[in-house]
Amino acid sequence: MLDKVKELIGEVNDFKATTKEELEAFRIKYIGKKGILNDLFAEFKNVANDQKKEFGQALNTFKQAAEGKINQLRETLEDADLNKSSLNDLTRPAEPLNLGSRHPISIVKNQIIDVFSRIGFTVSEGPEIEDDWHNFTALNLPEYHPARDMQDTFFIEQNPDILLRTHTSSVQTRYMENNKPPIRTLSPGRVFRNEDISARAHCIFHQVEGLYIDTDVSFADLKQTLLYFTKEMFGKSKIRLRPSYFPFTEPSAEVDIYWGLETETDYKITKGTGWLEIMGCGMVDPNVLKNANIDPTQYSGYAFGMGIERIAMLLYQIPDIRMFYENDVRFLEQFKSIS
């Protein structure tokens, strides 16, 4: 019996296969459920006690040899199939190549970054999983502050101090902690809020927020920056600022641009007023500067923020925010010609 096992090991070592079918037949014959290896293990009980150790070692050697041979031949055959694939077929037509396209959110984000980079803003990024201090408390939203209810937050289970960031202002908090004024930074990124998904709202969306801190920064500086942005981004030269409330800026304002009433679509998206809200802004609250160890008696600054999806929906007249997240190729292919 031991000589038979040694003979089988030799057969396994000498075996060669040129097709996957031959390899599968080999596997079934030697180590399949009804294969030779199982038959030999069944015979183990009939082996004399003084030979069982040597016989068992021979069986293990046989099993390892068979499995090793199968793995080796499988890799060889797969490599051969890859070399024969259409990727290396020199007769395959080279054109037309099916080119992809940038996602509209990426397109608009890059356009916004490009506009602000021309006036000295640099890009800063931060974690999407954030702590309470950087997302709320440092931004003048202490615990139990009623304004926290403005942002329905996703908290990480079993740790109320860890959450999914509700705005990219948390990136600005971290940037202020690690950099001294003058500061001129732009913070694009994905944010999360526990909201019902509809044509106009989503629980996941993207923001771009800007921050400028230096000596003698005024609201006039903020207005001039926003006017520059609307001219470059939309080709609109008329804006207005309406008083509003944000916990981390004081005074705060909503920014509207005059979109016009030239088409039926203009009437629809502006509700017949010609004005369209595009972002929020304001002067950085002194408490926010203190929390970042910046002296509010020496420095001042402004901040602004906008939703990328909202800007993209305006630019490309997209009626439903959910279209950005459905990965419908028919929708995405419309942006192939846009860099």
Same domain, 80 and 110: no
- Single residue among 37, 53, 88 that ends a domain in this structure: 88
CATH number for the domain harbouring residue 324: 3.30.930.10
Q: Judge contact between 54 and 44, C-beta under 8 A.
A: no
Alpha carbons 291 and 219: distance in angstroms, whole number: 22
**What is the mean predicted confidence (pLDDT) over 17-43?**
79
**What is the mean predicted confidence (pLDDT) over 214-230?**
96
Same domain, 70 and 127: no
> Cis omega before residue 251 (within 30°)?
yes
Same domain, 330 and 242: yes
Q: How many domains does the chain have?
A: 2
Same domain, 58 and 17: yes
Same domain, 113 and 162: yes
Confidence (pLDDT) at 327: 87
Same domain, 306 and 208: yes
Residue 94 lies in a domain: no
The sign one gets for the Cα dihedral 241, 244, 249, 254 is: negative
Alpha carbons 70 and 133: distance in angstroms, whole number: 57
Amino acid identity at 318: I
Same domain, 39 and 151: no
Residue 205 lies in a domain: yes
Confidence (pLDDT) at 223: 96
Pair of tokens at residue 64: 């390892």
pLDDT tens for 150-198 read 668 888 877 778 999 999 999 999 999 999 999 999 999 999 998 888 8
Q: Read off the pTM.
A: 0.69
Range of 7's domain? 2-88
- Single residue among 88, 113, 137 that ends a domain in this structure: 88
**What is the mean predicted confidence (pLDDT) over 313-328?**
90
Same domain, 143 and 218: yes
The partner residues of 330 in beta bridges, in order of sequence, read none
For residue 128, count other CB atoms closer than 10 A to its CB: 14
Same domain, 201 and 275: yes
- Single residue among 33, 60, 88 that ends a domain in this structure: 88
